[in-house]
């Protein structure tokens, strides 16, 4: 399919909503659905999820929140106690210290309430655009795109963007994706990328988006 044919993003989003229905929600969206939707909880859960499978990070986040759901609760724990609660996630020791430091900074600098402000979130150690954008999108309803490996891979395969890094994908999506989908694109493409448009052997033959997709770089598929 030639590259100059406009990708029908509206149609793609509608089909994605249907395609991901059978699969579990991405961890942050599942936590929000279970009531862990504050900006602080979303940010902490995203830190826990870095380089950790959803199947692990979801129960770990809930175990931590069972003991502490606010910055004030969190600083009453020691970093070692936080570490014990999140020990199943990757880099748990460093993350425990980061989580305590963030909670403490929120108490010291923001009166215990984390503001819905991108600059504030990005100033915390260990927080990059992926987590800051997702937490602000879910926790504050602000329009931000969170680009992870799935969002990067799938939008490039569609031919919707043509970029080499997630950072460039973010800029490309900000320029062309309708803002109404900025938060939802992550919600849809994480399960879609995990279960259908997988890194190896994507399931193109049964994919609902096959007639929209340029399958850029796909050499073998199911
Ligand atoms: S057709 Fe293949 S490459 Fe395109 S979105 Fe579907 S699974 Fe991914």
* Model pLDDT for residues 128-170, shown as the tens digit of each residue: 999 999 999 999 999 999 999 999 999 999 999 999 999 999 9
Residue 126: per-residue pLDDT: 87
Distances (CA, A) of 21 to 18, 113, 158, 197: 5, 35, 20, 15
Distances (CA, A) of 201 to 61, 95, 115, 164, 182: 31, 34, 42, 20, 27
Q: Could you tell me what percent of the chain has a pLDDT over 90?
A: 95
The set of residues, in sequence order, having a beta carbon less than 8 Å from that of 166 and lying 6+ positions away, is: 130, 147, 148, 149, 151, 152
Q: Give the nearest ligand 1 atom to 221 CA.
A: 2
Ligand 1 pocket residue status of 213, Cβ below 6 Å? yes
CA of 13 to the centre of ligand 1 (A): 13
CA of 201 to the centre of ligand 1 (A): 10
- The CA-based diameter of the chain, rounded to the nearest angstrom, is 59
CA of 57 to the centre of ligand 1 (A): 27
Domains and CATH numbers, the chain: 9-20+145-212 (1.10.1670.10), 27-140 (1.10.340.30)
Q: Is 220 helix (H, G, I), strand (E, B) or coil?
A: coil
Report the predicted TM-score, pTM, of the whole model to 2 decimal places.
0.90
Ligand 1 pocket residue status of 198, Cβ below 6 Å? no
CA of 172 to the centre of ligand 1 (A): 20
Residue 5: per-residue pLDDT: 66
Residue 145: per-residue pLDDT: 95
Higher pLDDT, 3 or 183: 183
Ligand 1 pocket residue status of 215, Cβ below 6 Å? yes
Ligand 1 pocket residue status of 212, Cβ below 6 Å? no
CA of 133 to the centre of ligand 1 (A): 26
* Model pLDDT for residues 39-78, shown as the tens digit of each residue: 999 999 999 999 998 899 999 999 999 999 999 999 999 9
Q: Specify whether the CB–CB gap between 204 and 221 falls below 8 A.
A: yes
Give yes or no for residue 2 having a pLDDT over 70: no
Give yes or no for residue 28 having a pLDDT over 90: yes
CA-closest residue to ligand 1 atom 2: 204
Give yes or no for residue 1 having a pLDDT over 80: no
């Amino acid at each position: 399919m030639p590259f100059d044919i406009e990708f029908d993003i509206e149609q793609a989003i509608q089909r994605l909503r249907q395609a991901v229905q059978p699969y579990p929600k991405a961890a942050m969206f599942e936590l929000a659905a279970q009531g862990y939707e504050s900006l602080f909880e979303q940010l902490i859960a995203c830190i826990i999820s870095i380089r950790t499978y959803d199947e692990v990070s979801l129960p770990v986040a809930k175990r931590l929140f069972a003991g502490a759901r606010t910055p004030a609760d969190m600083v009453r724990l020691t970093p070692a106690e936080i570490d014990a609660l999140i020990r199943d996630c990757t880099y748990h020791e460093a993350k425990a210290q980061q989580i305590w430091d963030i909670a403490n900074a929120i108490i010291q600098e923001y009166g215990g309430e984390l503001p819905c402000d991108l600059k504030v979130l990005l100033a915390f150690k260990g927080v990059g655009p992926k987590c800051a954008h997702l937490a602000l999108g879910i926790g504050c309803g602000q329009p931000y795109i969170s680009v992870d490996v799935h969002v990067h891979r799938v939008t490039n395969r569609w031919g919707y963007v043509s970029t080499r890094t997630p950072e460039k994908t973010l800029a490309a999506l900000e320029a062309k994706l309708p803002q109404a989908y900025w938060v939802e694109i992550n919600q849809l493409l994480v399960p879609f990328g995990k279960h259908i448009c997988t890194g190896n052997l994507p399931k193109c033959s049964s994919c609902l988006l096959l007639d929209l997709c340029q399958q850029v770089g796909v050499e073998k598929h199911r």
